[in-house]
Amino acid sequence: MPSDANVKLKKRLREINEVISARDAICPAGAGKPAMQRGAAVIKAGTTLLAAVFEAYVEELYEKSLDLLHPTLPAEVKELKKHTSEKNNNANNHQVNNLFFYAGIPWIMMSPKIRWQKFSNKKVRDTLGELSTARNRIAHGGSHLVTKNQLVFWHTFIERLADRLDLVLADHIENQTGARPW
């Protein structure tokens, strides 16, 4: 069973599908350069949205994990969230590692569970880094070419990564509390 954060992520990923469909409507097969440029803008918007959706997932998963790990310390948990997830501005490898360090999982992005067939842990980290770099360049006015295929690839990647992060957190919470959270 996935976490509530993962369920919300999957729902929000449908918005990325809508962006991809909008790009296809603007830029059908055989379209000329003006249509391709408009399509590129839509893909850039989709890339930024995808990064934001993943960031929201990471923050919600982190906050829920703190609540489950420290149910008797609500004021302390609230204060910790104020100084961590509420100040998180991106879900790159460093930020994800940093957040979950406070939940007792240092270097979560290096976990052997954060991998899948034909996707080593290093490739997972590299791919998240590429998405984060693209998002930053787009969001801060730099030029960065993102193709429709890259966005589709990153969409699938984020979906799988969330499933793996859910697993790592569920195992950690169960080890600490004796109860499987999801």
User: 119: helix, coil or strand?
Assistant: strand
When pLDDT is averaged across residues 63-88 and rounded to a whole number, the result is 96
pLDDT in tens, 5-53: 999 999 999 999 999 999 988 887 777 776 667 788 899 999 999 999 9
- What pLDDT does 115 receive? 97
Which residue ranges make up each domain of the chain? 4-177
Question: If DSSP states are collapsed to H, E and C, what string results for 129-162?
Answer: HHHHHHHHHHHCCCCCCCCHHHHHHHHHHHHHHH
The average pLDDT across 165-174 equals: 98
Would the pLDDT of 54 be above 80? yes
Average pLDDT over residues 148-171: 97
Kindly report the pTM of this predicted structure: 0.94
- Could you give the angle at the alpha carbon of 34 between the alpha carbons of 28 and 38, nearest 5°? 70
How far is the C-alpha of 103 from the C-alpha of 134, rounded, in Å?
28
pLDDT value at 121 more than 80: yes
